[in-house]
């Protein structure tokens, strides 16, 4: 038996934000970060003022969200008692809001409520808090607005520990996809977040947990990103914004999140998560590279499904292997075009810190869920080789 979890509503397109002024909220608790507060919060406030909703803003989220920020947010949230939490921002903001909600709902458990999250727990979040969650992503990448996991770092001990905590009740009631929020994205952010979304589409499609429903979302998301990302990047470099293209990418990022959230990610994300934790490289800066390694590592085992992806974007070949090889080549060209790194060396990780940290990094990768759902088995010895090839930018030949 499988379970496919979706948000109750996806509001999308130009002026999607007006959905807020058609509701009857009494008190909105907005989670955001200082940059988005300046650039986009006024648009939300304008909508909520039309329905005379009271507004409380928590704006202390930063990149790589931490448990102590979640705790701070919950302190304010529990004094506020809102009937809607609105997460306005990128993946870090949305993950923080998703972490705050179960802690607020279980005051006796406090921060242990996050450690206790698992896919099978009954949390009764909506009943206990009389509140719903609305996500408004301002980047087109993580898909966190429709997934049921939150990635948070515990920075309270001697060593930072990054963990993914999940429960299906964390899937938002509503996600609002208004392309207006992506207008301030600079070209490098469009490239990095776009590659993250592309990776979700590829990896969710190749995962051993793929299913008919996730396939439908992921294949179309892959097409939309492949066709539109290079243009959006080139336009952003010139300071141009084409809202039709931005909307395609914004929708595709959510579709990819919706798909992989109900399938799984694979090797590219195991590598990306462990590099992020071990060498402090932002997810969006390494995930394109590691996804390329994931494609190459899986090129023979997942040949039919990689060929499907190649077909979807109009590549031609007389065999599945030829199509697979063409997609791998095209993906490398895409990374170069978007000015993304091709190796750990390119990411400015020096050899000494690589050698110092590699055992911890491999341990992290082995325990990442992407290792389990990768089509080709991957063990400790494989990871040693993969990481060494990845460091040098050498193509996998084993």
- Nearest to Fe ion by Cβ — which residue? 196
Q: How far apart are CA 305 and CA 78, in angstroms?
A: 47
Nearest distance from C-beta of residue 45 to Fe ion, angstroms: 30
Nearest distance from C-beta of residue 277 to Fe ion, angstroms: 14
Q: Are 119 and 86 in contact (CB under 8 A)?
A: no
Nearest distance from C-beta of residue 354 to Fe ion, angstroms: 22
Nearest distance from C-beta of residue 81 to Fe ion, angstroms: 34
Nearest distance from C-beta of residue 61 to Fe ion, angstroms: 18
Window contacting Fe ion (CB under 5 A); options: 6-14, 57-65, 188-196, 350-358: 188-196
Residue 195 or residue 378: which is nearer to Fe ion going by CB? 195
The count of chain residues that interact with Fe ion, using the rule CB under 5 A, is 1
Residue 5 or residue 164: which is nearer to Fe ion going by CB? 164
Residue 29 or residue 297: which is nearer to Fe ion going by CB? 297
Nearest distance from C-beta of residue 37 to Fe ion, angstroms: 25
Q: What is the DSSP letter of 66?
A: B
Residue 129 or residue 150: which is nearer to Fe ion going by CB? 150
Q: Could you write out the three-class secondary structure of 299-338?
A: CCCCHHHHHHHHHHCCCCCCCHHHHHHHHHHHHHHHHHHC
Nearest distance from C-beta of residue 300 to Fe ion, angstroms: 24
> Which of residues 33, 95, 178, 196 is near Fe ion by CB under 5 A?
196
Phi/psi for 329 (5° steps) reads -65, -45
Task: Report how far apart, in Å, the C-alpha atoms of 14 and of each of 7, 193, 221, 251, 302 are.
Answer: 20, 21, 19, 12, 38
Window contacting Fe ion (CB under 5 A); options: 12-20, 75-83, 159-167, 194-202: 194-202
**For the chain, first and last CA: distance in Å?**
36
Q: Where are the beta strands (DSSP E) in the chain?
A: 9-12, 27-31, 54-58, 84-89, 132-137, 149-154, 161-166, 174-177
Q: CA nearest 104: which of 135, 119, 83, 134?
A: 83
Residue 198 or residue 307: which is nearer to Fe ion going by CB? 198
Residue 37 or residue 250: which is nearer to Fe ion going by CB? 250
Window contacting Fe ion (CB under 5 A); options: 85-93, 132-140, 196-204, 273-281: 196-204
Window contacting Fe ion (CB under 5 A); options: 178-186, 192-200, 241-249, 304-312: 192-200
Residue 204 or residue 375: which is nearer to Fe ion going by CB? 204
Residue 95 or residue 196: which is nearer to Fe ion going by CB? 196
Q: CA nearest 204: which of 262, 252, 253, 260?
A: 260
Q: What is the DSSP letter of 132?
A: E
Q: Are 140 and 191 in contact (CB under 8 A)?
A: no
85 token code pair: 């939490």
Nearest distance from C-beta of residue 291 to Fe ion, angstroms: 9
Q: Strand, coil or helix: what is 395? A: coil
- Say whether residue 95 binds Fe ion (CB under 5 A): no
282 token code pair: 């932002």
Nearest distance from C-beta of residue 199 to Fe ion, angstroms: 6
Nearest distance from C-beta of residue 21 to Fe ion, angstroms: 32
x-or-dash string of contact with Fe ion, 143-182, rule CB under 5 A: ----------------------------------------
Residue 157: CB atoms within 10 A of its CB come to 7
Residue 33 or residue 196: which is nearer to Fe ion going by CB? 196
Residue 196 or residue 247: which is nearer to Fe ion going by CB? 196
Which strands form 174-177's sheet, in the order they lie side by side?
9-12, 174-177, 132-137, 84-89, 27-31, 54-58
Question: In the complex, which residues of this chain contact Fe ion (CB under 5 A)?
Answer: 196
């Amino acid at each position: 038996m499988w379970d496919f979890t979706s948000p109750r509503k996806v509001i999308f397109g130009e002026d999607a934000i007006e959905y807020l002024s058609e509701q009857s909220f009494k008190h909105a608790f907005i989670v955001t970060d200082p940059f988005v507060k300046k650039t986009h919060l006024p648009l939300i406030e304008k909508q909520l003022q039309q329905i005379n909703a009271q507004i409380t803003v928590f704006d202390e989220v930063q990149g790589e969200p931490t448990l102590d920020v979640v705790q701070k947010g919950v302190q304010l949230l529990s004094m506020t008692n809102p009937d809607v939490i609105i997460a306005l921002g990128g993946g870090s903001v949305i993950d923080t809001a998703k972490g705050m909600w179960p802690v607020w709902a279980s005051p006796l458990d406090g921060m242990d409520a996050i450690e206790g999250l698992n896919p099978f727990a009954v949390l009764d979040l909506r009943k206990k808090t009389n509140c719903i969650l609305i996500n408004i992503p301002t980047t087109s990448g993580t898909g966190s607005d429709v997934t049921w996991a939150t990635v948070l770092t515990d920075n309270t001990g001697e060593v930072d520990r990054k963990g993914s905590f999940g429960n299906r009740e964390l899937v938002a009631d509503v996600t609002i996809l208004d392309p207006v929020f992506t207008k301030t994205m600079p070209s490098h952010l469009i490239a990095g977040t776009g590659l993250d979304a592309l990776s979700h589409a590829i990896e969710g499609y190749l995962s051993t947990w793929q299913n008919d429903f996730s396939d439908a979302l992921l294949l179309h998301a892959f097409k939309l990103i492949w066709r539109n990302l290079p243009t959006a990047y080139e336009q952003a470099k010139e300071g141009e914004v084409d809202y039709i293209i931005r909307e395609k990418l914004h929708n595709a990022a959510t579709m990819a999140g919706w798909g992989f959230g109900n399938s799984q990610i694979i090797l590219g994300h195991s590598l990306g998560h462990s590099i992020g934790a071990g060498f402090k490289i932002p997810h969006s800066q390494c995930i394109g590279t590691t996804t390329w390694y994931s494609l190459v590592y899986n090129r023979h085992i997942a040949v039919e499904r990689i060929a499907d992806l190649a077909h979807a974007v109009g590549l031609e070949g007389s065999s599945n292997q030829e199509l697979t090889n063409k997609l791998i080549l095209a993906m490398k060209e895409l990374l170069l075009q978007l000015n993304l790194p091709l190796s750990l060396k390119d990411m400015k990780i020096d050899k000494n810190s690589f050698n110092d940290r590699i055992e911890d990094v491999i341990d992290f990768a082995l325990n990442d869920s992407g290792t389990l759902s990768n089509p080709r088995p991957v063990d400790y010895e494989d990871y040693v080789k993969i990481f060494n090839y990845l460091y040098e930018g050498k193509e996998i030949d084993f």
